[in-house]
Amino acid sequence: MHIRVINPNTTSAMTETIGEAARRIAAPGTRITASQPSGGPVSIESHFDETISAVGVTEEIRAGENDATDAYVIACFGDPGLLAARELTRAPVIGIAEAAFHMATLISTRFSIVTTLGRTTIIAEHLLEQYGFRHHCRRVRAADIPVLDLEEEGEAALGRIIDECRRARDEDNIGSIVLGCGGMAELTDTISDAVGLPVVEGVTSAVKLAEALVGLGLGTSKYGDLAFPRPKAFTGRFEHLSRETP
């Protein structure tokens, strides 16, 4: 089984972190390819960042279709370009936020999310509503850490995340915590040990869900709105997509 884990930003160190976390959790026989777009934002912390990165995600899906890929993971907690990506392939495509929400509800009746910057809490709230998990989530919290600080600040950033997770444990009446950033992929065990609650992280959750879907023989439906896009003319920088069919 071949799973392509796509980091939608262009920071190579974060792509490596995400890839290593995915490989450690993957079953024997699962091959993980970690990739990133050739251009786009170095981190994703706004709606604008997500919009730009979504184009890169679709390019990575198209590349994966030429590389015998069985499933895809979009490793950004905003799940940028998720539905567009699903249109381009029959393989399962899983966003890490949706995966983490599903996993958290299987082990607890209430969870809180701990993410990076305060403005991204609103994006997470939008996803909770969209995916139907709003009533399971007690609160979306921010450690007020820029995404790249997870790579650059190390222990200091980890300490702030743990502090916020402890506040969630003590104040939110929850059973588990969801980590709200793909860059936190390697921190799950450390945070869980420090906080004493189950901690759910989206990259690893998505990899295991991808393995399950492939094992069940389930792929993205090509009926309805997730059918392949209709061939048509594109102009300007996207002219190369004209009349292309997946």
Is residue 58's pLDDT more than 90?
yes
User: Which value, to the nearest 10 degrees, does the dihedral of the CA atoms of residues 92, 93, 94, 98 take?
Assistant: -100
3-state secondary structure at position 162: helix
Using pLDDT thresholds of 50, 70 and 90, give the confidence band for residue 203. Answer: very high
Q: Provide φ and ψ at 196, rounded to 5°.
A: 85, 15
**Look-up: residue for tokens 């209430």?**
110
C-alpha span between 78 and 82 (Å, rounded):
9
pLDDT of 191 reads 94
Using pLDDT thresholds of 50, 70 and 90, give the confidence band for residue 185. Answer: confident
C-alpha span between 165 and 161 (Å, rounded):
6
Mean of the per-residue pLDDT values of the chain: 94
pTM value > 0.85? yes
The 8-class DSSP code of residue 220 comes to -
Average pLDDT (195-216) is 97
Using pLDDT thresholds of 50, 70 and 90, give the confidence band for residue 153. Answer: low
pLDDT of 148 reads 79
Is residue 182's pLDDT more than 80?
yes
- Adjacency order of strands within the sheet including 71-74: 31-35, 2-6, 71-74, 93-95
Average pLDDT (94-110) is 98
Is residue 93's pLDDT more than 70?
yes
Using pLDDT thresholds of 50, 70 and 90, give the confidence band for residue 154. Answer: low
Domains along the chain?
2-95+205-241 (3.40.50.12500), 97-202 (3.40.50.12500)
C-alpha span between 45 and 61 (Å, rounded):
22
Average pLDDT (46-67) is 96
Using pLDDT thresholds of 50, 70 and 90, give the confidence band for residue 147. Answer: confident
